[in-house]
Chains A and B, each alone.
Chain A
Amino acid sequence: QQQVKQSPQSLIVQKGGISIINCAYENTAFDYFPWYQQFPGKGPALLIAIRPDVSEKKEGRFTISFNKSAKQFSLHIMDSQPGDSATYFCAASMYQLSGAQKLVFGQGTRLTINP
Chain B
Amino acid sequence: GAGVSQSPRYKVAKRGQDVALRCDPISGHVSLFWYQQALGQGPEFLTYFQNEAQLDKSGLPSDRFFAERPEGSVSTLKIQRTQQEDSAVYLCASSHRAQGEQFFGPGTRLTVL
Contacts and interface: CB of A to CB of B under 8 A. Distances in A.
B41 A108 contact: yes
Interface stretch (B11-19, B65-73, B78-86, B103-111): B103-111
Nearest to A102: B45
A99 B30 CA distance: 12
Contacts of A6: 42
Contacts of B91: 43-44
A94 B100 CA distance: 13
A5 to B, nearest CB: 11
A10 to B, nearest CB: 10
Given A99-B55, A99-B98, A43 B45 contact: no
Contact of B48 (A43, A44, A45, A102): A102
Interface in A61-115: 89, 91, 96, 98-108
Contacts of A41: 106
B42 A89 contact: yes
7 contacts: A42-B106, A43-B4, A89-B42, A96-B56, A98-B48, A98-B98, A99-B99
